[in-house]
Every structure is written in C-alpha cells, then in structure tokens.
Amino acid sequence: MKDTIAPHGGKLVNRIAEDKEREALEEKTPNFKKIKLNKREISDLEMIATGGLSPLEGFMLKKDYDSVVDMMHLSNGLSWTIPITLSATEEEVKNFKEGEDIALEDENGGEVLGILHLEEKYRYDKEKEADQVYGTLDAAHPGVAYLYQTGDILLGGKISLIKRPRHTNFMKYRLDPSETRKIFREKGWRRVVGFQTRNPIHRAHEYIQKCALEIVDGLFLHPLVGETKGDDISADIRMKSYEVILEKYYPLDRTIIGVFPAAMRYAGPKEAIFHAIIRKNYGCTHFIVGRDHAGVGNYYGTFDAHYIFDEFDPEDIGIIPLFFDHTFFCRTCGSMASYKTCPHDSSHHVTLSGTKVREMLRKGDIPPVEFTRPEVARVLIEGIRQQ
C-alpha cells in the first residue's frame, strides 16, 4: 500500500548522515569552526534531518526567510509560515566564511550533533519578523521575547545530522515521519487525522478527537514535547495523562500516540498552518484545528486559526483542516456539544478557566467529571505535587 498523502514539496527529506558519510564528517569536525545550538535550534535540526520540516534541507537562506516573513510562502512558492533559522552574534561568526562547514554543538558544547554547510550569513529585522509572524511587537509575547534575545546574524545552509540529540524520555513514542508513515501503511489507514496539543487532554479535546475519528481510519495524537513557556504543564505529566486516558477511553486499534519534538512558537494562526503542514509530512491526511490554536494571552482572535486557511490554496496546503468550535458539556443536552450543535445558552454549560482548573488541582480537588476525566485529574494532581 502506498502513502495516501505526499510530504510537503513531494519528497520526504532525509539529512541524516549514515555510515561512510557520517564517519568522514566526524573525522573532519575537530577542524571545523563551531557554534552552540539552543534547545529550539536543536529540535529544529532534528526535525529538518528526519523530514518533519520537509521540504527544508537546512536553516533558511535569506530568499526563503524574506519570502516566508512577507508572503507566507517559500521562495519556490510552497506555503510556509514560520521562519526556521539559526541565529548568532556578530562576535560568534566574525570568522565564519560562506562555503565552509560549521560544526553544530549541543547547548553545553560537549557534543557535535551536525554540520551546517554554510551558504549565507545575513542580517534580519527582528521587529518586522515579530510583527509579520506573531502579529505583535510586545516582548511579553513568548515568541517575540525569544526572537528579541536571538543574535543579529542568521546562518543559512543545508545541514547534515551526524548524531541524534540525547533523549532520555518518551523513547517508544519518538517516531520519525518515515516511521509513522510506515505504521499508517501497515494498518491500512488511508485517512489519518492528526491532533496537536501542548496541554493535558480534557473532555473537550476528547470530544473533538472522537468526532474526527468518525470520518477517518485512525487518530494520530501528537503532543508537543519541545520547549514551551514556563507555566505550561510539563511534558512528563502530560504524557502520563495521555497514557491514562488512552488506555481506558480510546480505541487502541485506531489510535497512535507519538511525541512531537518541536518547540512552541505561540504564533497562533501562522503556527496552525505550520502544524498542519508538519503533520502532512508525518503522513496525516486531516488535521484538527480547534479554537485559539497555538495562541497565548489575548494576541489572537478565537478563530483566527480557522480563517487563515482561507488565505491558502487548499491543494498547496494538501492536508484537510477540520475546524471545531468551542466545546463543552451541556447539562440540558446531557452530553458534550459545541456552539454549532447546542441550542442552549452558556448558563447550561460546564466551563472552567485554565486558572480555576490549576487552582483546583493545586488544592488536590478533582474538577467536575464533565470537564475532565477523574483519572487524568489524579495524574495532574500528583504531578503538580511533585513539582
């Protein structure tokens, strides 16, 4: 059985150096100039190498960077909304020459993970990127805050991965795009829906995932475990909550979980497109887009992540978005519902703010069963106590 959806750009990129190529690069690396990567750059390096960011083969050159910031497309015309860049200070790269190979070290400088085949060094306008990508210049926005503290020079060029980053957690869930595609083929899944999350699954998530399962062959639950802002619930706790709910409430023959190694950008609608394209690379044919996808604070409208898809050619995006309204438990309907299906006003709905839920969990109180499964709440309470 063939894959039912092609990767973005038509080919799954593989920039992992193998065997003789890797050995040759490793022999040369002691003589290369070096630069340390931060956590986000390390996760980007790995995702470029494994094809998660296809068609990118490296960190963006200026023509692609400018095109993405200005036009939401790569220079070849393919849809793309988030710059994938490697920054450095002028001091760090003053001796770097275009055309040479640069060793990419982990954040501690102890290991060389890959090689940047440096094609270009260029300056960029951080405020312009903040405005165009994040829609704000406010340094309180976590994505903008990250951007403002990066170096003033960007390094562009293809990469070669010679050593995978060291991971000590979620090993059985660390599936590359080639692996998920193989699993989907073996299961005979022709229609696969992907779900992005950086939060524990509550009843609203469960509802929209199961609605989507009604029209596809399988669900690929793909929680993000890369770098997030400090007050997000840790990946370890979240993964335990996913395992608990999957075991008891999901059809295991129609559900797969794998961790998504990317860092959060909190770019709202732009990141919704980005997340959809990446799940296409993993082999998904459909992608769930809920309310305020990848949002933070009050920077984006509730359904901006839905509306942005209208700005793209559906054939170019290639993956089918499934848009869901705000969902909740309605006491009068006696079931989960959304504003699309429920005729009753909000006084009938069980809704809790994230702040209220965190307060309850810190106190050891289990939120209403209409909001979250008790098994999930107990995992979260225990995890919060151990923090």
Does residue 255 sit in helix, strand or coil? strand
Can you read off the two tokens belonging to residue 170?
Answer: 């979620």
d(CA 47, CA 57): 10
d(CA 270, CA 58): 20
d(CA 375, CA 245): 7
Query: Tokens 């887009």 — which residue?
Result: 289
d(CA 378, CA 374): 6
Helix extents (H) in the chain:
19-28, 39-50, 62-71, 90-93, 126-129, 142-148, 177-187, 203-213, 235-249, 269-281, 304-307, 314-317, 354-363, 374-386
198 a catalytic residue: yes
The reply to whether omega before 321 is within 30° of 0 (cis) is no
Catalytic entry in 198, 203, 265, 373: 198
Catalytic entry in 38, 199, 254, 378: 199
d(CA 267, CA 305): 10
31 a catalytic residue: no
Hey, which residues are catalytic here?
Answer: 198-199
